A and B are shown apart, each in its own frame.
Chain A
């Protein structure tokens, strides 16, 4: 640690890191997940969660919609009560909230293409007020206005008609371009590593799904997002190889090194392997005494916890077998 960092980081991040060190102790331990998996029904799971920080959010949940609402409220509080009050530099906060802004932008465009009201497709987790996505484009902040213009140009098939099939990839491309800009402003090596890993994992997911659906190589290049450590040209060259060889090459490249190659041939196994791989990087943040890393790591771990809870609670309600659920929670257990 340089002398400047030794003085500046505790002043800038000390308060947030102090809070993180206590809040980390309130995260769900593996034993709680075991109890949740073993629980007979949702009422028992709700009772177990009543002993945790999620109790208040899920006490009125009885079905999928209630669980989604409760967990969204938990994330909203994480952003408002923790991120918003931690005196963190603006880009660190923006990194998390920008995703939700772009998700809302996707919802707005999808609703327009399908001729439905956007309200159902919008979340309140972004930095931009949700009402802005229901009104005219002039009400959006300039970065979202610009992104929307580019997305429309990329997926417009006829006068004003949008190709919903290509909406996801067009929004992802704009999201990752925006995140790359935020990461550059944040000047945090950990955030840069995290972003590169997210981009590479996103591209690997697109790669595997593309192969599973026999998407032609010419269509794949636009599906790979910018910002990863594996160049898009290399991903395209791997895409031309037989699947087993492509998976072996991917698993030995850049940030994906160490991921199970077999998971790179199976879309279902990949999501779990990707979560485990990401969790490995995020956990390294706990070893750093002071700086943005523990704060970013904590937020990432809480988001992973919410995702795990959603998988477990909704999966169990849908009757997914216990062992299948357990295998999907590998990153938190």
Chain B
């Protein structure tokens, strides 16, 4: 188990993948929430009663960070990091790294764009309270692809652990 690829051992690659997933998702969520929060703050400044209706929009880009966190946790659980039995071949570690990439990239990009979409949706809520439900749908469509990326990552990791 002392083999390496590009100087990194199997566990190094697995950690690398977990870190990239957590970082990508976290960046996407942080930027996405910042974007929508600016508009949400403006709406609530003028009409504090809209806080409850606008909060789900502001929170929505936060899910990408959660997916990144889940991916990192799955790497630790599937490959025995918590159990202290870390034994991964270099090529397997590299596969784990690749398995983490869908979440890392898709969650980073979709978090930012979900925030941008939610800004427009916040405008809908500001104009008409009744549109709060409809306003959630458009940013939720962006969420679909973050969920798909998480599913792909999980399937790839399941394949690695069982295969």
Which residues from chain A sit less than 8 Å from chain B, CB to CB?
1, 6-7, 10-11, 14-25, 289-290, 294
Beyond known contacts A6-B113, A21-B123: 8 more, CB 8 A cutoff: A10-B35, A10-B116, A14-B41, A15-B41, A18-B45, A21-B42, A290-B120, A294-B123
Pick the contact of B116: A6, A17, A24 (CB < 8 A).
A6
Pick the contact of A289: B34, B42, B44, B120 (CB < 8 A).
B120
Min CB distance, B64 to chain A, in Å? 15
Closest to A8 in B: B35
User: With an 8 A cutoff between CB atoms, is B21 at the interface?
Assistant: no
**Distance, CA A289 to CA B135, complexed state (A):** 13
| B126-A289 in contact (CB<8A) | no
Min CB distance, A302 to chain B, in Å? 14
Pick the contact of A21: B34, B43, B116 (CB < 8 A).
B43
Main secondary structure of the interface of B (DSSP, over half): helix
Pick the contact of B123: A6, A7, A15, A289 (CB < 8 A).
A289
User: With an 8 A cutoff between CB atoms, is B31 at the interface?
Assistant: yes
Closest to A21 in B: B126
**Distance, CA A20 to CA B42, complexed state (A):** 8
Query: Known: A7-B31, A7-B116, A290-B120. Is A17-B36 also a contact (CB below 8 A)?
Result: no
A6 neighbours in B (Cβ, 8 Å): 112-113, 116
**Distance, CA A303 to CA B37, complexed state (A):** 28
Tally chain B residues at the interface, Cβ within 8 Å.
26
Query: Known: A17-B119, A22-B47. Is A10-B126 also a contact (CB below 8 A)?
Result: no
Docked complex: B55-71 residues within 8 A CB-CB of A: none
**Distance, CA A24 to CA B122, complexed state (A):** 14
A1 neighbours in B (Cβ, 8 Å): 116
**Distance, CA A326 to CA B63, complexed state (A):** 53
Which residues from chain B sit less than 8 Å from chain A, CB to CB?
31, 34-47, 50, 112-113, 115-116, 119-120, 122-123, 126-127
Pick the contact of A10: B36, B43, B44, B47 (CB < 8 A).
B36
B50 neighbours in A (Cβ, 8 Å): 22
Nearest first, the 5 closest Cβ-Cβ pairs linking A and B are A18-B42, A14-B38, A21-B126, A289-B120, A22-B46
| B113-A22 in contact (CB<8A) | no
**Distance, CA A92 to CA B50, complexed state (A):** 28
List 23 A–B pairs whose Cβ atoms lie within 8 Å, in order of A's numbering. A1-B116, A10-B38, A10-B115, A10-B116, A11-B35, A14-B35, A14-B37, A14-B39, A14-B41, A15-B39, A17-B119, A17-B123, A18-B42, A18-B123, A19-B45, A21-B39, A21-B43, A21-B123, A22-B43, A22-B46, A22-B47, A25-B126, A25-B127
| A18-B38 in contact (CB<8A) | yes
A19 neighbours in B (Cβ, 8 Å): 42-43, 45-46
**Distance, CA A108 to CA B113, complexed state (A):** 51
| B126-A22 in contact (CB<8A) | yes
**Distance, CA A22 to CA B36, complexed state (A):** 15
Which of B35, B40, B127 has the most chain A CB atoms closer than 10 A to its own CB?
A: B35
Pick the contact of B112: A7, A25, A289, A290 (CB < 8 A).
A7
Closest to B113 in A: A6
| B116-A18 in contact (CB<8A) | no
| A10-B39 in contact (CB<8A) | yes
Min CB distance, B115 to chain A, in Å? 7
B39 neighbours in A (Cβ, 8 Å): 10, 14-15, 17-18, 21, 290
Min CB distance, A297 to chain B, in Å? 13
| A14-B127 in contact (CB<8A) | no
Pick the contact of A23: B36, B46, B115 (CB < 8 A).
B46
**Distance, CA A19 to CA B31, complexed state (A):** 21
| A16-B35 in contact (CB<8A) | no
| B119-A10 in contact (CB<8A) | yes
Pick the contact of A16: B36, B42, B126, B127 (CB < 8 A).
B42
